Amino acid sequence: MTFRQARWDEPAVWDLAPARPADAPPQISGIPEKMRRKEAVHWPELSELEVIRHYTRLSQMNFGIDTSTYPLGSCTMKYNPKVSEVLARRPGAADVHPFQPEATVQGSLEVAWRLERILARVTGLPEISLQPAAGAHGEYAAMLMVRAYFRDQGELAERTEVLLPDTAHGTNPASAAMAGFTTREIRSKEGCVDLEELRREVSKKTACFMLTNPNTAGLFESEILEIAEAVHSVGALLYYDGANLNAILGVTHPGRMGFDVAHLNLHKTFATPHGGGGPGAGVLGAGAKLGPYLPVPRVVKEGRKYRLDYDRPKSIGKIKTAFGNFGLDLRAYAFILSHGEEGLKHIARRSVLNSNYAAAQMGQYLPRPFRTLVKHEFVLSGAPLKAKGVRTLDLAKRLLDEGVHAPTVYFPSLVDEALMVELPETESKRDLDAYIAAFGRAISDTPENLHAAPRSLSVTRVDEVRAAREPLLSWKDLRDAAAKAETP
Binding mask 11-50 for another protein (x = CB under 8 A): -xxx--------x-xx-xxxxx-xxxxx-xxxxxxx-x--
CA atoms within 13 A on the CB side of 127: 19
357 lies in the binding site for another protein (CB under 8 A)? yes
Q: Are strands 237-242 and 261-265 parallel, antiparallel or unpaired?
A: parallel
Binding segment toward another protein, per CB under 8 A, in 94-102, 232-240, 383-391, 441-449: 94-102
Nearer to another protein, 339 or 441 (CB): 339
Nearer to another protein, 77 or 198 (CB): 77
Binding segment toward another protein, per CB under 8 A, in 198-206, 356-364, 381-389, 440-448: 356-364
Binding segment toward another protein, per CB under 8 A, in 203-211, 229-237, 285-293, 396-404: 396-404
State which of positions 403-442 bind another protein (CB under 8 A).
Answer: 405-406, 408, 411, 425-430, 432
State which of positions 226-245 bind another protein (CB under 8 A).
Answer: none
State which of positions 254-293 bind another protein (CB under 8 A).
Answer: 256-257, 265, 267, 271, 273-281
159 lies in the binding site for another protein (CB under 8 A)? no
Give CA 26 to chain center in angstroms: 43
Cβ contacts of residue 168 below 8 Å, gap of 6+?
185, 210, 211, 212, 216, 241
In the chain, what is the greatest distance between 2 CA atoms, to the nearest angstrom? 77
Binding segment toward another protein, per CB under 8 A, in 195-203, 233-241, 306-314, 438-446: 306-314
Answer for which of 69, 71, 73, 75 binds another protein (CB under 8 A) is 75
176 lies in the binding site for another protein (CB under 8 A)? yes
Asked if 414 and 56 count as a contact pair (C-beta separation under 8 A), the reply is no
State which of positions 189-218 bind another protein (CB under 8 A).
Answer: none
Nearer to another protein, 387 or 475 (CB): 475
Binding segment toward another protein, per CB under 8 A, in 195-203, 234-242, 307-315, 362-370: 307-315
Nearer to another protein, 57 or 441 (CB): 57
Answer for which of 152, 196, 448, 463 binds another protein (CB under 8 A) is 463
Nearer to another protein, 387 or 485 (CB): 485
187 lies in the binding site for another protein (CB under 8 A)? no
Answer for which of 186, 202, 248, 283 binds another protein (CB under 8 A) is 248
CB neighbour burial string for 358-389, b if at least 16 within 10 angstroms, e if fewer: bbebbeebbebbbeeebbbbbbbbbbebeeee
126 lies in the binding site for another protein (CB under 8 A)? no
477 lies in the binding site for another protein (CB under 8 A)? yes
Interface with another protein: number of residues (CB under 8 A) = 207
Cα 394 to Cα 384: distance, rounded to the nearest angstrom? 13
Cβ contacts of residue 194 below 8 Å, gap of 6+?
186, 187, 188
300 lies in the binding site for another protein (CB under 8 A)? no
SS (H, E, C) 363-428: CCCCCCCCCCCCCCEEEEECHHHHHHCCCHHHHHHHHHCCCCCCCEECCCCCCCCEEEEECCCCCC
107 lies in the binding site for another protein (CB under 8 A)? yes
Asked if 421 and 69 count as a contact pair (C-beta separation under 8 A), the reply is no
Kindly tell me the sign of the dihedral angle through the C-alpha atoms of 407, 409, 411, 417. positive
Cα 208 to Cα 231: distance, rounded to the nearest angstrom? 8
363 lies in the binding site for another protein (CB under 8 A)? no
What are the phi and psi torsion angles at 404 (to 5°)?
-120, 160
Cα 247 to Cα 251: distance, rounded to the nearest angstrom? 8
219 lies in the binding site for another protein (CB under 8 A)? yes
- For residue 279, the minimal CB distance to another protein (Å) is 4
427: nearest Cα among 69, 67, 82: 69
